[in-house]
Amino acid sequence: MSTATATATVTHTAALARLGRALSDSTRAGVLLALREAPAYPSDLADALGVSRQVMSNQLACLRGCGLVEAVPDGRRTWYRLADSHLSPALDELLRVVLYVEPGCCAGESCTCA
């Protein structure tokens, strides 16, 4: 048996922990999954996820702080998108992992995570 060696730096582990924190809340996870489909205004995200606009504002602030979403000014309004093009395929892959770990979580023709 070989001895384990650390291949990630403290910076890598801190970044991964931030991602884990972002995904640990169902509203934040829902925002990320919604934004992988298309950019959106906070009010539309709040309505789609069934939360108040204040809750959505707080969750978007957290996701911005984690570096996962970015705000784009649009006149008097602001819309949000994923901060990097690598995030959408990464979220798709995470959904495939979830299906492996918990195969019953997605059922029916309406499921889009497979």
Domain of 40, CATH number, reads: 1.10.10.10
CB 35 within 8 A of CB 81: yes
Would residue 39 count as lying in a domain?
yes
**Range with the poorest average pLDDT among 20-24, 41-45, 72-76, 109-113:** 109-113
Coil, strand or helix: which one is 40? strand
Residue 57: which of 82, 89, 87, 80 has the closest Cα?
A: 80
Tens digit of each residue's pLDDT (9 = 90 or more) over 76-92: 999 999 999 999 999 99
Task: Identify which of 34, 58, 37, 54 has the alpha carbon closest to the alpha carbon of residue 45.
Answer: 34
Share of the chain above pLDDT 90, in %: 61
End-to-end CA distance of the chain: 36
**Mean pLDDT over the full length of the chain:** 88
Domain count, the chain: 1
Contact 35, 69 (CB under 8 A): yes
Entry pTM: 0.82
56 lies in a domain?
A: yes
Q: Per-residue pLDDT tens for 48-61?
A: 999 999 999 999 99
